[in-house]
Amino acid sequence: MTYTPELPAVPGSLAFVRNVDTAPAYWWLDILWVVLADGADTGGRYSLMHETLPKGAGAPPHKHTWSDEHFYMVEGEITFLVGEDIKVAHRGDFVFVPRNTRHAFRVDSETAVFLNGYTPAGLELAVIENAMPAPERVIPPKGATPPPGLTAEQYRRYGMDNTPGPNPFAADAHPGGAA
């Protein structure tokens, strides 16, 4: 087992409690994103978002160049591509994707809810900077969210790389996508 006990303490007094019903919420890519912790909250160590997605939503193959990503399934079913492996995750499952690992996913159930985290923080800024504030805490109506198009410079700034290769979910692709 590897761990890093020598990480310095987070500066200042950053202890907090945030609730999914009151935390900042956004609509983007036909997904409801609730930011439970961002880099400012955690001294840059990690971020955590609560996401609610409709059937067919997901992300095309990509990788994160400087963050590890994890998903904790609260409800629903999602098929993940992680490296070359296809995995199906259900309520209670935890999925870990190390940085620089090609991955993608697709929601198979009518809706899915998961906690999505990044270590270190940073990718949550893609949502905060490009999404619209959610007028209500529901999956946004089709077409109500800003278009997903990010520039190549934005992808680099958020530590993302859209990787070439086959997309096993292309036939079922949702017009949105998620990080």
Q: What is the pLDDT of residue 149?
A: 67
**Is the peptide bond prior to 120 cis by the omega test (within 30 degrees of 0)?**
yes
User: Average pLDDT over the chain, rounded to whole?
Assistant: 88
Q: Which is more confident, 171 or 10?
A: 10
- How far apart, in Å, do the first and last CA atoms of the chain sit? 29
Kindly report, residue by residue over 103-137, the tens digit of the pLDDT: 999 999 999 999 999 999 999 999 998 899 999 99
Q: What is the pLDDT of residue 169?
A: 85
The share of the chain scoring above pLDDT 90, in percent, equals: 62
Across the range 65-86, mean pLDDT stands at 97
- DSSP designation for 154: H
Phi, psi of 164 (to 5 degrees): -70, 170
Q: Which of 93-97, 117-121, 152-156, 166-170 has the lowest mean pLDDT?
A: 152-156
What is the C-alpha separation between 114 and 97, in angstroms, rounded?
Answer: 15
**Domains, the chain, ordered by start:** 25-170 (2.60.120.10)
- Please spell the DSSP secondary structure of 65-109, one letter per residue: SS-EEEEEEEES-EEEEETTEEEEE-TT-EEEE-TT--EEEEE-S
What is each CA distance from 19 to 47, 94, 128, 135, in whole angstroms? 14, 21, 17, 17
Place of tokens 């805490």: 137
Q: What is the pLDDT of residue 97?
A: 98
Across the range 77-94, mean pLDDT stands at 97
